[in-house]
């Protein structure tokens, strides 16, 4: 079982590393948000007495890079199904659970690498970590975010026959998850309805955990952030495995 998972894990990573245009292209949106908002709204945020907006924004942008890469990696199942690659994998003498776990771990690793690249870009434009000793904890939060949304992307892709539903998922699921996650704004002072949506958003706990690890300031406790993310990740893995096992070829 571990051999199969390892092979699929390495396959996902190699596919990512071979596509240099994909790596560069996926950095465009986080970089745009970081520069346009970080420097554009920085003076307004500073005049409000809340310090550097770039410092506040960077963990949210790191989470953004992980979220989109993880969802897209999970959605690659649709492409593999259309071009016949998925059929070749599913007819192999291994269980579908092994295939799903291997693909998900590979996709999560790819999304984590994307988050590390965005983190390095943040450092290059002026972001500063409060304690380097907590950076490994931040990497742990990055991987949990990646694993959660890769498994979610796998579950969604297992139910879609083609890419026609992709824009629907982007507009009504992925974008709200990002914008309501406190990646761009603090939770303090929000209207009750928006705050309730933010608290129900799983990415909120990932962003908050990254802020706590990288900046030493979190809205919730790091223990709560980790527990919620870990629980939701296990749920997403179970759901992804269940949906993937029902794929018809």
Query: Residues 183-230: pLDDT tens digits?
Result: 888 888 788 888 898 999 999 999 999 999 999 888 888 999 999 999
Residue 102 lies inside a defined structural domain of this protein: yes
pLDDT band per the 50, 70, 90 thresholds, residue 8: low
pLDDT surpasses 70 at 22: no
Task: Give CA–CA dist 138/59, Å, rounded.
Answer: 9
pLDDT surpasses 80 at 139: yes
Residue 208 lies inside a defined structural domain of this protein: yes
Query: How many residues would you count in the chain?
Result: 249
Residue 249 lies inside a defined structural domain of this protein: no
End-to-end CA distance of the chain: 22
pLDDT, position 95: 72
Residue 116 lies inside a defined structural domain of this protein: yes
Structure letter (DSSP) for residue 218: -
Count of structural domains, the chain: 1
Rounded to two decimals, the pTM is 0.87
Average pLDDT, the chain: 81
pLDDT surpasses 80 at 23: no
pLDDT surpasses 80 at 163: no
Task: Give CA–CA dist 225/208, Å, rounded.
Answer: 7
pLDDT band per the 50, 70, 90 thresholds, residue 246: confident
pLDDT tens-place string over residues 167-187: 677 677 888 899 888 888 888
Residue 159 lies inside a defined structural domain of this protein: yes
pLDDT surpasses 60 at 2: no
Domain limits at 149? 2-244
Q: Which long-range contacts (CB under 8 A, 24 or more apart) does 22-27 make?
A: 23/114, 23/117, 26/65, 26/68, 26/69, 26/72, 26/114, 27/65, 27/114, 27/117, 27/118, 27/121
């Amino acid at each position: 079982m571990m051999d199969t998972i390892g092979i699929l894990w390495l396959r996902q990573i190699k596919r990512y590393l071979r596509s240099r245009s994909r790596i560069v292209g996926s950095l465009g949106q986080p970089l745009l948000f970081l520069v346009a908002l970080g420097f554009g709204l920085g003076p307004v945020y500073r005049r409000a007495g809340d310090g550097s907006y770039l410092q506040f924004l960077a963990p949210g942008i790191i989470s953004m890079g992980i979220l989109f890469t993880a969802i897209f990696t999970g959605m690659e199942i649709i492409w593999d199904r259309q071009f016949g690659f998925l059929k070749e994998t599913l007819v192999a003498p291994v269980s579908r659970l092994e295939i799903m776990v291997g693909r998900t771990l590979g996709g999560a690793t790819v999304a984590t690498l994307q988050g590390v690249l965005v983190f390095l870009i943040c450092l290059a434009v002026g972001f500063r970590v409060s304690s380097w000793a907590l950076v490994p904890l931040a990497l742990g939060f990055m991987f949990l975010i990646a694993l959660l949304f890769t498994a979610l992307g796998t579950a969604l892709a297992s139910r879609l026959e083609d890419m026609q539903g992709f824009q629907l998922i982007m507009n009504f699921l992925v974008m709200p998850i990002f914008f309501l996650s406190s990646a761009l704004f603090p939770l303090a002072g929000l209207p009750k309805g928006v705050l309730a949506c933010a608290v129900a958003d799983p990415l909120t706990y990932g962003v908050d955990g990254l802020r706590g690890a990288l900046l030493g300031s979190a809205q919730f406790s790091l223990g709560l952030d980790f527990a919620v993310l870990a629980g939701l990740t296990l749920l997403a893995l179970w759901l992804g495995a269940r949906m993937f096992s029902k794929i018809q070829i």
